[in-house]
Structure 1
Amino acid sequence: MDSAVLLDLLGNENRRRILRLLSHKPCYVTEISEYLGVSPKAVIDHLRKLEDAGLIESHTDDRRRKYFHIARDVRLEVNVSRHGFGTKSAYPANPSLDIQGRCPHMHIDLELRSAGDNGDNEDNGESGGDNDRDGDATTGDGDRGGDDSRGDLAQLAAEFDELQDLENELSLAQRWVHGRMSELLDRVNDRLGVDADSRFYAKLLAAVTSTDGSHRAVVEEVDADPQAVEDGLQRLADADLLARESGRWRLAG
């Protein structure tokens, strides 16, 4: 989903309130109108825009009443800093994603707490006649079914608790990275001057250290205009941060 479109949609308070309401339950137009305190006509206009963007969809019940609900999960990230502005939107990753393989800098330990041992429900006592055995078996199966259900619920609750903690920790980690990144880019600015595009120059420095230092390799790494890369590398050299030897760039010193 286009981040700019999403930002424009969410810029309206009533549309944000509609999404907040629909995140709790599906609603029809009259419900939403009463919740917002605006006319049904205005609600329909907001719903149409949200539906056109793919954020919500609708279904009709047996009484031909049209209900609206969130279509699918989407995440929007906005980064505003002294060193740049950026937005990014994405749908949730597949739960089967190899998170450790794709995110080598992260070490996630998401072991679920045990739902508990339900024990052995077999009756080890003396058995009576056939009717007694049938009755015991029926009762035992019922008990096991209840225990299994409680075990499943306990496991779901434990997993939710773990994921909620992880969500909070990842949010804190993002804030930490943002702070460290700003500090690093401030240091780049100190070396190059306040008018410098510090993020671009930081990318150039990283590209020089992670490639063979050739102009072509650096251009491919930062995915930028070749002339802009050449000018940027030269400016870093003028600031005594880079040096060129045999046509390849390296860190100075």
Structure 2
Amino acid sequence: MDSAALLDILGNENRRRILRLLSHKPCYVTEISDYLGVSPKAVIDHLRKLEEAGLVESRTDDQRRKYFNISRNLRLEVDVSPYEFGMKSAYPASANLDVSSCQYLSLNVKYLNEQVEDDEDDEDVEQMSDTEASKIADLASELNSLEELKSELSLAQRWVHGRMTSVLDSLSDAVDGNGENRIRAEILAALAAGAETTREISREANAPEHIVENHLGSMAERGVVESDGESWTLSG
């Protein structure tokens, strides 16, 4: 789903409250209505939009009561800075992904391959073998480790964003002296990433080609970049 459309759906406070409630347990319309303090008709309208977005799904029990629950996990990121405004959404990676294979990422987390299977007979749940108890203890430990890792990654992400802004500020000041033409920092970053033609640089910097071309010409006069007539590179 388009990130802008998703942001619009989640921009409604009552829809966010519905998702928060459903993250704890499946609910039917009357429960949600009582929780929000709004009419069942309004709740049904919110649920319809959440269902259309693929965030919520429903099922009917033996008493023909319709329950709603969250259908998928997703992450929505919104970046607002002097250098960027953008949104992106992502769904969870496959459970089979080997994160240890990522070249620049090292995680000190124990991942369990086994999962606790639900017992079909509730009456047997009272009697649990030592192996099953051990599995539950291991999964609880893994959950705690993943929650700690999530907090650490969030902190690391905030540090990266802050550092990016600081570097872009310094780069803009070095190129312009006053940091007003921040687009030039993005153009230089695109060149550093391997973009060569005006079209490639324009795509990387997310700016019109004629504007990129004008800035490249200005920076070439100062000796910041250079061109062989077809491609651009950083000087030095």
Band of TM-score, shorter chain: 0.7 to 0.9
1:155 to 138, 141, 162: 138
Distance 2:36 2:63 in 1: 24
In structure 2, the CA distance between the partners of 1:2 and 1:112, relative to structure 1 (3 Å rule), is: closer
Distance 1:7 1:179 in 2: 23
Asked if structure 2 preserves the Cα contact closer than 8 Å seen for 1:83 and 1:198, the reply is: no
Matches within 5 A, 1:127-146: 146=129
Structure 1 residue 245, shift from structure 2 partner? 5.3
In structure 2, the CA distance between the partners of 1:239 and 1:180, relative to structure 1 (3 Å rule), is: farther
* Secondary structure of the corresponding residue to residue 226 of structure 2: strand
Distance 1:65 1:202 in 2: 59
In structure 2, the CA distance between the partners of 1:28 and 1:248, relative to structure 1 (3 Å rule), is: closer
Other-structure match for 2:110: 111
In structure 2, the CA distance between the partners of 1:180 and 1:249, relative to structure 1 (3 Å rule), is: same
In structure 2, the CA distance between the partners of 1:197 and 1:250, relative to structure 1 (3 Å rule), is: closer
In structure 2, the CA distance between the partners of 1:146 and 1:60, relative to structure 1 (3 Å rule), is: same
Asked if structure 2 preserves the Cα contact closer than 8 Å seen for 1:240 and 1:252, the reply is: yes
Structure 1 residue 228, shift from structure 2 partner? 5.2
Structure 1 residue 248, shift from structure 2 partner? 5.2
* Secondary structure of the corresponding residue to residue 180 of structure 2: coil
The structure whose RCO (Cα within 8 Å, separation 6+) is larger is: 1
Please report the RMSD computed on the Cα atoms of aligned residues, expressed in angstroms. Answer: 2.6
Asked if structure 2 preserves the Cα contact closer than 8 Å seen for 1:79 and 1:86, the reply is: yes
Matches within 5 A, 1:163-242: 163-190=146-173, 191-192=175-176, 193-198=179-184, 200-207=186-193, 210=194, 214-215=196-197, 219=201, 222=204, 229-242=212-225
Asked if structure 1 preserves the Cα contact closer than 8 Å seen for 2:191 and 2:232, the reply is: no
Aligned partner letter, 1:238: E
Distance 2:71 2:203 in 1: 37
Asked if structure 2 preserves the Cα contact closer than 8 Å seen for 1:215 and 1:230, the reply is: no
Larger CA deviation: 172-181 vs 218-227:
218-227
In structure 2, the CA distance between the partners of 1:233 and 1:104, relative to structure 1 (3 Å rule), is: farther
Distance 1:200 1:61 in 2: 55
Other-structure match for 1:132: none
1:243 to 226, 229, 232: 226
In structure 2, the CA distance between the partners of 1:245 and 1:45, relative to structure 1 (3 Å rule), is: closer
Asked if structure 1 preserves the Cα contact closer than 8 Å seen for 2:19 and 2:70, the reply is: yes
Q: Give the TM-score taking structure 1 as reference length.
A: 0.76
Asked if structure 2 preserves the Cα contact closer than 8 Å seen for 1:77 and 1:88, the reply is: yes
Matches within 5 A, 1:77-92: 77-92=77-92
Structure 1 residue 237, shift from structure 2 partner? 2.0
In structure 2, the CA distance between the partners of 1:220 and 1:105, relative to structure 1 (3 Å rule), is: farther
* Secondary structure of the corresponding residue to residue 93 of structure 2: coil
Asked if structure 2 preserves the Cα contact closer than 8 Å seen for 1:204 and 1:233, the reply is: no
* Secondary structure of the corresponding residue to residue 154 of structure 1: helix
Gaps (5+ residues) in structure 2? 113-127
Distance 1:4 1:109 in 2: 35
Asked if structure 2 preserves the Cα contact closer than 8 Å seen for 1:112 and 1:155, the reply is: no
Q: Which has the larger radius of gyration?
A: 1
Asked if structure 2 preserves the Cα contact closer than 8 Å seen for 1:204 and 1:229, the reply is: no
Distance 1:186 1:61 in 2: 58
Structure 1 residue 49, shift from structure 2 partner? 1.1
Gaps (5+ residues) in structure 1? 114-144
* Secondary structure of the corresponding residue to residue 110 of structure 2: coil
Asked if structure 1 preserves the Cα contact closer than 8 Å seen for 2:30 and 2:40, the reply is: yes
In structure 2, the CA distance between the partners of 1:245 and 1:41, relative to structure 1 (3 Å rule), is: closer
Larger CA deviation: 49-58 vs 218-227:
218-227
